[in-house]
Amino acid sequence: MKLQNEMFTIEEDKGQEVKIRLNPDHEIYRAHFPGNPITPGVCIVQIISEVLGEQQHRQLALDSIVNLKFVSTISPVEDPEVDITFTSVETTDEGCKTKGVIMAGEQLKTKFSIVFFDKQSREAGRI
């Protein structure tokens, strides 16, 4: 499921740091949770995948989670803009591994270390 331009938009891409804007009117927030919208963890991982994939000019999908900590909830109402900072990105032909954080202002929201595979390489049978 693609979330970019529906659930979130990229406001500014400085390479290592990307500012995104969340759409509080997206249907996911009507179910999670009505009156108190919170970004689901699976959507946070997908957002990281899509942002990194756009930077890498490839379509990425989750391979494995090395470490993932949701320190504080991300609300599209209270935190309409958040910054994703990639502190490390290691790329291969098969995909990439990244570490980083998501911040709302000075507040840490998420810490991550995730491995993604390149969908085209996998579909072509190269991995």
Q: Please, which pLDDT band fits residue 126 given cuts at 50, 70 and 90?
A: low
CB 77 within 8 A of CB 24: yes
CB 104 within 8 A of CB 64: no
Kindly report, residue by residue over 37-81, the tens digit of the pLDDT.
999 999 999 999 999 999 999 999 999 999 999 999 999 999 999
pTM above 0.75, yes or no: yes
What pLDDT does 109 receive? 98
Q: Which CATH superfamily is domain 8-123 in?
A: Hotdog Thioesterase (3.10.129.10)
What pLDDT does 59 receive? 95
First to last CA, the chain: 22
Kindly report, residue by residue over 85-101, the tens digit of the pLDDT.
999 999 999 999 999 99
Query: What are the structural domain ranges in the chain?
Result: 8-123
Q: Which residues of 95-124 are buried (b: 16+ CB within 10 A; e: fewer)?
A: bbbbbbbbbbeeeebbebbbbbbbeebeee
